[in-house]
Structure 1
Amino acid sequence: MSERPGPPPPPGAGGGAPPTPAQLGAQASAQIPLDAPTLHLTPGPGKTGLVGLPTWLWVDATPSTWGPATATAAVPGLSVTATAVVDRITWTMGDGATVVCTTPGTLYTPARGAQPSPDCGHTYTRPGVRTVTATTHWTVTWAGGGQTGTLVAARTTTVGDIRTGEMQALIS
């Protein structure tokens, strides 16, 4: 007479070794939504800025686009929590320049006029039509079970049709 098998054992019980804190850290990290940044520039796509005037750069700062964002993975007797934050954003401006910012930037308003951005901006020196790319660089730290670790990730967004022109003064 044969016996019927019972239900499978819970994770970490019998049938194999339980996951390590590092494995749970990777699992918790994978649960965090890390979205590509939503880019904002002034002037924006389809509008024309002027050579020599500041271009302001900023992104929406939400938990999934800038952090902090957390997630936890657990098995009986062990819990690991991961936290993700953006360290920096690297803007490739389409004219050979790269701008690295450690903040999400500052929202431009018309009241700011021709002032440069206080934390994230660029000034084009030649006219042209460009594509701008921004990459957020994430650091994900995890801790649990007496251990810690760090993982990295990156998310990229591209926006095109960034125009810069020259203004000619006419003297009569």
Structure 2
Amino acid sequence: MIWEGNTTGLIVECRIGTEGGWNTGWDRWVGTAELSAPPDPEELARRAVARMQLQPIQMGTFPPLEQRSPAALGYVGWNVWMWVDGATASNWGPITRSVSERGFSVSATARVDKVEWDMGDGTIIECQIGTPWQSIWTHNEASPDCGHLYAKDGEYSVTATSHWVIDWAGIGESGILTMDLDSTGTMRIAEVQVVNVNEP
């Protein structure tokens, strides 16, 4: 028996298609709790985040990374600048998406809280969006908010980790989700050789 002694709920008819002109299906009992329980709001929030298609930042640096300019070089003791190149809603935020299910809705808003730059020499620098370098600066000016100095020459693997914070609310609840996304590149640093010439 479908009811099996249950006195509340519904009998629903389930069908999965046709076969030889006949519908294939069955009946099942659905309890009252299953009918009335709302969806998990955090699960809906995660689905909303998936719809955002969040991206890692585009790494802006001076000197440029090898991937952008293979011939580019920085120098020991010279200022390196770092910034978010071309910030958009999908790689910096804020961006908002909502998901609904059975009349219940959850909304989530994501934004980057900070960017951590691992410079490949053991130094990690915490920044916000940063300031782009401009060609008018030709006297080894330091970045006002996101810069670095290398003490040795070499090739350094640089990683920029954007730390996303996602606030969500809905179905009488709220919470915070986090996500980290990485961008990587290589910076080449050379030693400046100074040659003293004795004039006759």
Go from structure 1 to structure 2 and tell me whether the alpha carbon gap of 1:146 and 1:5 turns closer, same or farther (over 3 Å shift): closer
Who wins on radius of gyration, i.e. which is larger? 2
How far 1:23 sits from its partner (Å)? 2.5
1:145 paired to 2:165: no
Distance 2:169 2:137 in 1: 43
Please report the TM-score for the alignment, with normalisation by the length of structure 2: 0.74
55, 58, 83: which one pairs with 2:80?
55
How far 1:7 sits from its partner (Å)? 8.0
42, 49, 52: which one pairs with 1:32?
52
Aligned Cα root-mean-square deviation (Å)? 2.2
Counterpart in the other structure of 1:115: 141
Distance 1:87 1:75 in 2: 29
126-135 or 27-36, which deviates more: 27-36
* Structure 2 counterpart SS, 1:25: helix
Distance 2:14 2:46 in 1: 31
Counterpart in the other structure of 2:130: 105
1:84 paired to 2:104: no
**2:108–2:167 CA contact under 8 A, matched in 1:** yes
Q: After the TM superposition, list the runs of 4 or more consecutive aligned residues in structure 1 that deviate by more than 6 angstroms.
A: none
58-67 or 71-80, which deviates more: 71-80
Structure 2 counterpart of 1:109, one-letter code:
Q
How far 1:107 sits from its partner (Å)? 1.1
Counterpart in the other structure of 1:129: 155
Distance 1:53 1:169 in 2: 15
Distance 1:165 1:87 in 2: 33
* Structure 2 counterpart SS, 1:29: helix
Aligned residue pair count:
163
180, 183, 189: which one pairs with 1:154?
180
Give % identity: 39
The unaligned stretches of length 5 or more in structure 2 are 1-11, 17-31
Go from structure 1 to structure 2 and tell me whether the alpha carbon gap of 1:164 and 1:122 turns closer, same or farther (over 3 Å shift): same
How far 1:77 sits from its partner (Å)? 3.4
**1:53–1:123 CA contact under 8 A, matched in 2:** yes
